Structure 1
């Protein structure tokens, strides 16, 4: 039975844009509050030297995963959810894409919650009468949802306008931190090693691993073949690394562990609104955009403006629940669950079934892939088990071990099932 046309539509050359505009969207994700919070949290849990190493390693991992996944998007012009459908089959993709959608809606709620709390606190600092937190969440969520309904072009324009502003604010934050605490003294700042460095890396990767895996959603519009690697490099190895270092440095300089109080103490003042508003707006619009793609790839009838609005409403309701207490744990769990998905797609595309990643395959009923399911389960199980038990590791970083195990299992299973089951499509 043919798949409805909405699943098979790929961007044409008239939809392609230059990679810097795509990189601007991805960079705005790195400029958001969760990235600042992650850098601050990791720096508080490790010594400065260990935290900086963890940040660098985490950003390198994200660059490699994002660059590779984004390249698949550029070459196939498919969204990440269409790629999941080919690698995992129709039934497997339904489960994976639903998990993606739930996680992205969770992020939507987290960021609206962060946004409203920050706005209320900023109003208090300047003794301005503020409306209730829920009202702020409702207004902000509605604007973010409206941006998503308008489409990718609206997200692209907003990101292009906001990146220079928020970049200057971040550099001003770095300058003030340097004035308060010279670099040599910053390196000597002592913190207890409350977590292992590998856990720090996992938290950093988890902070944006979904963004790296779903990078094809935006790189599929890249006019340049190398646009994915440029986007990943500037987003993760430059902007995200800079943001986390600035957060860690500012925290050490001010002694604050609350990100908003830190911004005010470092001298941002009303400029803190730029980070709060700009980063949250683009990040959440992109989260909702990708959520709609994930659901539309499996249930195409749900891909419409009304359903987008309903998803936005669900995200706003999610923001009313207190989920920030589980922030770091949420990031680590995301690493465990979603990294193997990237491993399956990359092995499937680059080593096994590259010719089948085309619109013709999407037009067919794609059988469930036991090889992909087994490999994903093996990688996710290893990563989750490592969170609770001391398991000997090959690299010392559980997410890397999960990728390697997943790739090895999938390669073996792919060869094992190759003769009995034809390639997808």
Structure 2
């Protein structure tokens, strides 16, 4: 049993466990087929109108795709998860602070998905059967499914993605078709939006909503056979995510609703939507829980992997039952500022300071706390905070501001503290 559920949380993935980039990309694409993403796509579609929203979706995901390409290369070449990679720059003990934040962020997504799912299924059951079933019941059942899959690791997630992704993608396309039967294409495309959201804010929201997928890409890219396959896997984010946002926005504009279940009820897909919502919540939150377990494995170094997953699931379920979705946008903004610097730091460390080479054995010789990384993380998060609040303007995307500033600040601090960056710049 231990061998079956072991997934190399603390060591490089061996060659015999490596798979093609297309399979990994399918998993990444499936990550995007989630309820919070549907909600964000619908919100931006109604705020900006379909034409501007589509440009924002593809523009934001293109930026994320570039970042994911670089982080995936690190994952494939080292065979390590994001949480092991972070230790090289932040130190064994310093990384625990960062990884604790990552765990909270991932469990927040886990809880938000379960929370939205519980509300949606409650609405559907009431619509179909006229029954009022307590939302916590649906939340708990969903979380149990997610936990079982996550315990069995990458193998289970890969197989689930192969089944779920085509079904959910086909369903969304069909939903768009039915929605356009209620309101013609020209009318939907001419909709100009009805909110105060600017294109810049929408772009920032897109980047913030999916920045975790780019920053933590090594978690799945470590299973890629080589660098080329790792880059191929990025299609799931760069091309798949904007399409998901778009097919979420079109039915929302056509029906005039934001909540996914109300949209499906409005176009007559109540029962099929129940099945798709189960798959959506199951696949995405399984991946979030799996990544959370890898994060906590670097903190609880002696605990067995499946036990870590179980404890994380209990905490994430508690967040869902407490209604984390009521604070989701605030949570999303904070994560969108604090997470990107982590990628900026480990990319600078790997490509410019370590000669594109990480060896787990070196961690024992590294300082326990990487002060330059911790300082760069704090300072760049502050930069993201002030740009998010329009105190100053840099790239107009706070997540990009914090990431780029972390990259530069880290290299400067390492130089000032006696470690001169190497000239290796080839990726």
With normalisation by structure 1, the TM-score equals 0.91
Q: What is the 5 A alignment of 1:376-391? A: 376-388=377-389, 390-391=390-391
Paired residues for 1:230-241 under 5 Å: 230-233=232-235, 235-241=236-242
Aligned equivalents of 1:219 and 1:355: distance in 2? 16
SS in 2 for 1:90: coil
SS at match of 1:166: helix
* CA shift in 2, pair 1:139/1:47, >3 Å: closer
- Counterpart in the other structure of 1:395: 395
Contact residue 173 and residue 267 of structure 1 kept, 8 A: no
| CA distance 1:272–1:38, shift in 2 (3 Å) | same
163, 167, 170: which one aligns with 1:168: 170
1:128/1:297 Cα in 2 relative to 1: closer, same or farther (>3 Å)?
same
Question: Are 1:28 and 2:27 matched, yes or no?
Answer: no
Segment drifting more, 78-87 vs 236-245: 236-245
- Residue 282 of structure 2 is matched in structure 1 by 281
The equivalent residue for 2:263 is 262
CA deviation profile, 1:336-383 (whole Å, cap 9, x unmatched): 010111111111111221354122223445432222122222221111
Bigger drift between 110-119 and 128-137 goes to: 128-137
- Correspondences of 1:100-139 after superposition (within 5 Å): 100-127=102-129, 129=131, 131-139=133-141
Q: Displacement of 1:101 after TM fit?
A: 0.7
CA distance in 2, matches of 1:405, 1:230: 28
When residues 128 and 57 of structure 1 are mapped into structure 2, their CA distance, relative to the original with a 3 A threshold, is same
Quick check: 2:78–2:357 contact (8 Å CA) kept in 1?
Answer: no
Distance 1:403 1:397 in 2: 10
- In the TM superposition, what is the alpha-carbon distance from 1:160 to its structure 2 partner? 0.9
Cα distance change, pair 420–220 in 1 and its aligned pair in 2 (3 A): closer
Whether 1:409 and 2:409 are equivalent positions in the alignment is: yes
Closer/same/farther in 2, CA of residues 156 and 413 from structure 1, 3 Å limit: same
Q: Residues 345 and 109 of structure 1: is their aligned pair in 2 closer, same or farther, counting only changes over 3 Å?
A: same
Q: Give the corresponding residue for 2:425.
A: none
SS in 1 for 2:92: helix
- Cα–Cα, structure 1 residues 273 and 366, in superposed 2: closer, same or farther, change >3 Å? farther
In the alignment, the residues of structure 2 paired with residue 343 and residue 182 of structure 1 have an alpha-carbon distance, to the nearest angstrom, of: 44
Paired with 1:165 and 1:47, the residues of 2 have a C-alpha distance of 27
Partner of 1:3: none
TM-superposed CA distance for 1:82, in Å, is: 0.5
Matched with 1:222 is 224
* Structure 2 CA distance for aligned equivalents of residues 319 and 394 of structure 1: 35
Q: Distance in 2 between matches of 1:180 and 1:325?
A: 31
Post-superposition shift, 1:43? 2.2
Please state if 1:353 is matched with 2:354: yes
CA contact (8 A) 2:172 2:248 kept: no
Aligned residue for 1:257, secondary structure, equals: coil
Q: How many Å separate the matches in 2 of 1:74 and 1:419?
A: 26
Please tell me whether residue 157 in structure 1 is matched to residue 159 in structure 2: yes
Structure 1: gaps (5+ residues) = 1-5
- Contact 2:92/2:363, CA 8 A, preserved across alignment: no
Alpha-carbon RMSD across the aligned residues, in angstroms, is 2.1
Q: Single out whichever of 124-133 and 76-85 deviates more from structure 2.
A: 124-133
SS in 2 for 1:386: helix
Against the structure 1 CA distance between its residues 348 and 122, is the aligned structure 2 distance closer, same or farther, given a 3 Å change threshold?
same
Tell me, yes or no, if structure 1 residue 253 matches structure 2 residue 254: yes
1:39 maps to which of 24, 28, 41: 41
Q: Matched residues in 2 for 1:25 and 1:125: separation?
A: 32
- Structure 1 window deviating more from structure 2 (116-125 vs 365-374): it is 365-374
Distance 1:143 1:362 in 2: 36
Structure-2 residue corresponding to 1:312: 313
Equivalent-residue separation in structure 1 for 2:333 and 2:281 (angstroms): 21
Equivalent residues, number = 415
SS of the residue 2:234 aligns to: helix
Contact 2:147 2:289 in 1 (8 A): yes
Which deviates the most, 37-46 or 362-371?
362-371
Following TM superposition, the consecutive aligned residue runs of length 4 or more in structure 1 with deviations greater than 4 angstroms are 128-131, 419-422
| 1:421 positional shift | 12
CA contact (8 A) 1:7 1:362 kept: no
Structure 1 residue 239 displacement after superposition? 1.9
Q: Which runs of 5+ in 2 are unaligned?
A: 1-7, 423-427
Equivalent-residue separation in structure 2 for 1:7 and 1:224 (angstroms): 19
Conservation of the 8 A alpha-carbon contact between 1:162 and 1:278: yes
Once the two structures are superposed, residues 12-42 of structure 1 have per-residue CA deviations (whole angstroms, 9 ceiling, x without a partner) of: 1111112222122111111111111011112
Deviation at 1:227, TM superposition (A): 2.3
Task: Indicate whether 1:202 and 2:204 are aligned.
Answer: yes
TM-score, L = length of structure 2:
0.91
Give CA-to-partner distance per residue, 1:233-265, whole Å, 9 cap, x none.
2x2222211111112111111111222111221
Could you tell me whether the CA contact under 8 Å between 1:8 and 1:363 is conserved in 2?
Answer: no
Change (3 A) 1:11 1:419: closer
1:128 is displaced (CA, Å) by 5.9
Q: Which residue of 1 aligns with 2:80?
A: 78
